[in-house]
């Protein structure tokens, strides 16, 4: 199991739960797994597609 697979599964589990997903993103950034310096809403599935 990779960190990316865990992050992907967490996103699928929490579809529609934007606040929880944002908190996850902040934790992953703090742990060094993501970079919120260049973050956009569509990077974690919180914005419109396309």
Q: Which domain holds residue 11?
A: 3-38
11 is a domain residue: yes
27 is a domain residue: yes
pLDDT over 80 at 2, yes or no: yes
9 is a domain residue: yes
Q: How many domains does the chain have?
A: 1
What CA–CA distance (Å, rounded) separates 17 from 46?
9
- Sign of the CA dihedral with 19 first, then 20, 21, and 27 last: positive
50 is a domain residue: no
Decide: pTM greater than 0.75.
no
CA-nearest of 45, 38, 47 to 9 is 45
pLDDT over 70 at 9, yes or no: yes
pLDDT band of residue 40 (cuts 50, 70, 90) is: confident
pLDDT band of residue 50 (cuts 50, 70, 90) is: very low
32 is a domain residue: yes
pLDDT over 70 at 33, yes or no: yes
């Amino acid at each position: 199991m990779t960190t990316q697979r865990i992050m992907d599964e967490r996103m699928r589990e929490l579809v529609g739960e934007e606040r929880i997903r944002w908190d996850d993103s902040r934790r992953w950034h703090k742990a060094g797994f993501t970079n919120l310096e260049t973050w956009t809403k569509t990077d974690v599935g919180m914005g419109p597609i396309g």
